[in-house]
């Protein structure tokens, strides 16, 4: 039973989330043609661009069913030990107290310490691999297609509140670049 649970975890964590990261990045770039043009001309932009996508449009929106291990005081409220807590990662990544202009996509963002891969003991074990896959896939895609543009915006999304990403990303292109 543990082997099956681990295999399912690896499939979801290692495949769906990385696929959503790459498709969310492609969608975000297509929605921001000025940044896409920059990305095509500045190869080093890929690292901060992927980090900004993880903040701006993370593949994991929240972590449900987490249990408070101790009483946690937040302003005038106490979350009691043993209470169920949902960690709203995507919401935290848009916190205006933490990020200037949080609803603006900007790969030049300074001090981009997002929660795209969670944090602490729950930090994603596969984060380095997911980053590398996105950093390799995005330049390959956008340096090979001519004039990419969305055919549907918003595209159809997966029906999963935790894992966010398009089910399909309909895109038109004028051809391939050699």
Give per-residue pLDDT as tens, 124-174. 888 999 999 999 999 999 999 999 999 999 999 999 989 999 999 999 999
Tell which residue, 122, 123, 105, 100, has the closest CA to residue 55: 105
Boundaries of every domain in the chain:
2-60+102-176
In this structure, the dihedral spanned by the alpha carbons of residues 42, 32, 117 and 12, taken in order and rounded to 10 degrees, is -110
Helices (H) and strands (E) in the chain, counts: 6, 8
Confidence tier at 8 by pLDDT (50, 70, 90):
confident
92: tokens are 């935290």
| Closest of 16, 26, 45 to residue 126, by C-alpha | 16
Decide which of 2 and 76 is more confident: 76
Does the pLDDT value for residue 25 go beyond 90? yes
**CATH class, 2-60+102-176 region:** mainly alpha
Please tell me the predicted confidence (pLDDT) of residue 6.
Answer: 72
In this prediction the pTM is: 0.90
Cα 58 to chain centroid, rounded:
2
Distances (CA, A) of 119 to 15, 37, 90, 138: 20, 32, 13, 25
Give tens-digit pLDDT for 103-117.
999 999 999 999 999
Torsion of CA 11, 126, 139, 161, to 10 degrees: 60
Residue given tokens 């896409």 in the structure block? 36
For the CA atoms of 18, 61, 91, 79, what is the dihedral angle to 10 degrees? -130
Give pLDDT tens digits for 72-86: 999 999 999 999 999
Helix axes 33-41, 127-142, angle to 10 degrees: 90
Alpha carbon separation from 89 to 15, 59, 92, 107, 123 (Å, rounded): 19, 10, 5, 19, 12
Contacts 24+ apart (CB under 8 A), 95-98: none
């Amino acid at each position: 039973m543990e082997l099956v649970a681990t295999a399912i975890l690896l499939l979801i964590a290692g495949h769906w989330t990385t696929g959503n990261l790459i498709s969310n990045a492609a969608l975000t770039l297509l929605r921001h043609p000025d940044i896409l043009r920059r990305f095509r001309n500045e190869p080093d932009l890929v690292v901060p661009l992927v980090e900004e996508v993880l903040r701006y449009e993370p593949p994991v929106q929240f972590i449900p069913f987490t249990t408070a291990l101790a009483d946690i005081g937040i302003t005038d409220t106490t979350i009691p030990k043993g209470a169920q807590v949902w960690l709203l990662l995507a919401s935290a990544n848009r916190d205006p107290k933490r990020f200037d202009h949080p609803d603006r996509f900007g790969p030049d963002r300074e001090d981009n310490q997002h929660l795209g891969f969670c944090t602490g003991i729950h930090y994603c074990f596969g984060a380095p691999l997911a980053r590398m896959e996105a950093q390799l896939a995005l330049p390959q895609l956008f340096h090979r297609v001519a004039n990419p543009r969305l055919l549907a915006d918003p595209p159809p999304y997966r029906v999963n509140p935790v894992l966010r990403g398009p089910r399909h990303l309909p895109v038109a292109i004028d051809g391939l670049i050699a």
